Chains A and B, each alone.
Chain A
């Protein structure tokens, strides 16, 4: 009688341990997915501000626009990357500046008079699209991770270890419509 109880308890413990180990593995993969996504987003954001700086120093714009472009690109690069809120605000400002500077297709068509300018604008266009995609993928990874971290088993057994609670990146990432309507 008691022998059966031992078997049942031991197999129960083994099953729970297996489940916990699998969940810890899932969680680890999810944390790595967030790391990769946030790194990718970082790469695209840095590329966007670098391209904006290039655009500012290209001589394509009047002095006032040049100053605004350079200042917002600099602000986006100088911000503390560990503070997602501040970074989101600085990047949103850059988004709005790009939208103001490239308001409509007529204006953009006027800028496309040299091959260098065309290449620059095309690269900015695809980078803006990639910023938007990267942010969506990042936030989706965060959502998937949070979903698992909310499980009771994960909280009780502290399967997430010391990894901080993941945060989404909130910013306005709308690409300038005049650029993306290809």
Chain B
């Protein structure tokens, strides 16, 4: 059965982010499955929107949850959301990050009928959430089913809001990564880092310390850094002899990322915290790069307690160096990790994840009609609605 699905993205389509990537992959997987999908999203420049996406208005910078988020709110945004719901005639409405004060909350208020929400981040109970508690509840109460992408996110919902959530993990586009052609061959063994270089929680300094140790043992090894950040600043304290073995690729496109991963002998994730899922690990595994990662709870889970990759204690540079040296010296072990990693990534393949999401849709659409505009409390809207219905 094909469904008409309306998806709401809370963050600006043109700024990179995990939620946006998730929404894009979800929409494209569902469309490939024959469903009719429309995505409503804030966007700076609507000319670059894909055909299935609808302009939800320009985002504004608002301080939220400890950082500045670019969100869309206001009277105009509300009107757009209402029109999109009215004209979309959706079988199910899927809202992402319903706790962010953006289009998602507006959509929850504006709609009635089958509403599904996906929670991505784990928000600690903040003052903002406490004051917004009543507001958050009124939106959450209308949601028929909540999906959490990680156990961490699920616990946020259960502990802070008392609601239940179903765990459906993030998806990875296994095909894209499996079929990626290696970017290029490096002279010696290569180790790769991916992420913001100047973000301390990504843990690059730990890897740089470890890499100096690795290079003493294996002089031909190359470290490839992929991601935004100023290399001169980040590598300022690195000795020249070590600096020779480091290549900076800077910010790359999705395709180049897949190809870079496919050309690496090892992928290292030295993160020190702030990761609730670890999608990059799965992408590396799908591309065939064996993974060495710090033993954060989320990574531990993705790597199946160390069976699908090597774990080292968070922040321990010498343990990381040993793990890298061990694996570079042992091609058989790397080949084995590559096979296990590929199989593990299959579990998170988007078509499989989409099937779980469709089960949730089926469970909420079975008991009620399609999504309609909620006109409660809308004096003007009700009047307009009556005018529209009159011939």
Shortest CB-to-CB span from B304 to chain A, Å, is: 15
Residue in B114, B141, B146 with the greatest tally of chain A CB atoms within 10 Å: B141
| Chain A residue at smallest Cβ distance from B116 | A137
Assembled-state Cα–Cα distance A136/B163 (Å): 10
Interface residues in B, total, Cβ within 8 A: 25
CB-CB < 8 A to B87: which residues of A? Answer: none
Shortest CB-to-CB span from A51 to chain B, Å, is: 14
Contact of A33 with B by CB under 8 A: yes
Contacting pair A144 B141 (CB below 8 A): yes
Known A25-B376, A130-B359, A139-B164: A36·B144 in contact at CB below 8 Å? yes
Interface residues in A, total, Cβ within 8 A: 31
Contact of B380 with A by CB under 8 A: no
Contact of A126 with B by CB under 8 A: yes
Shortest CB-to-CB span from B273 to chain A, Å, is: 30
CB-CB < 8 A to B141: which residues of A? Answer: 26, 29-30, 33, 144, 148
- Within A83-134, the residues touching B (CB, 8 Å) are 126, 129-130, 133-134
Contact of B364 with A by CB under 8 A: yes
Contacting pair B364 A137 (CB below 8 A): yes
Assembled-state Cα–Cα distance A22/B377 (Å): 8
Contacting pair B366 A140 (CB below 8 A): no
Contact of B384 with A by CB under 8 A: no
Contact of B289 with A by CB under 8 A: no
Annotate B227-238 by CB proximity to A: 1 below 8 A, 0 otherwise.
000000000000
Contacting pair B166 A133 (CB below 8 A): yes
CB-CB < 8 A to B146: which residues of A? Answer: 140
Inter-chain pairs besides A36-B144, A133-B359, 15 sampled, C-beta below 8 Å: A25-B377, A26-B138, A29-B376, A36-B368, A37-B367, A39-B366, A39-B368, A40-B365, A130-B362, A133-B360, A137-B363, A137-B364, A144-B140, A144-B141, A144-B163
Identify the B interface with A (CB < 8 A): 112, 114, 138, 140-142, 144-146, 162-164, 166, 352, 359-360, 362-368, 376-377
**Please, could you name 30 A-B residue pairs with CB atoms under 8 Å apart, sorted by A?**
A25-B377, A26-B141, A29-B112, A29-B141, A29-B142, A36-B144, A36-B364, A36-B367, A36-B368, A37-B364, A37-B367, A39-B367, A40-B363, A40-B365, A40-B366, A40-B367, A43-B367, A44-B363, A130-B362, A130-B366, A133-B145, A133-B166, A133-B359, A133-B360, A134-B366, A137-B145, A137-B164, A137-B363, A141-B144, A144-B163
Identify the A interface with B (CB < 8 A): 22, 25-26, 29-30, 33, 35-44, 126, 129-130, 133-134, 136-137, 139-141, 143-144, 147-148, 182
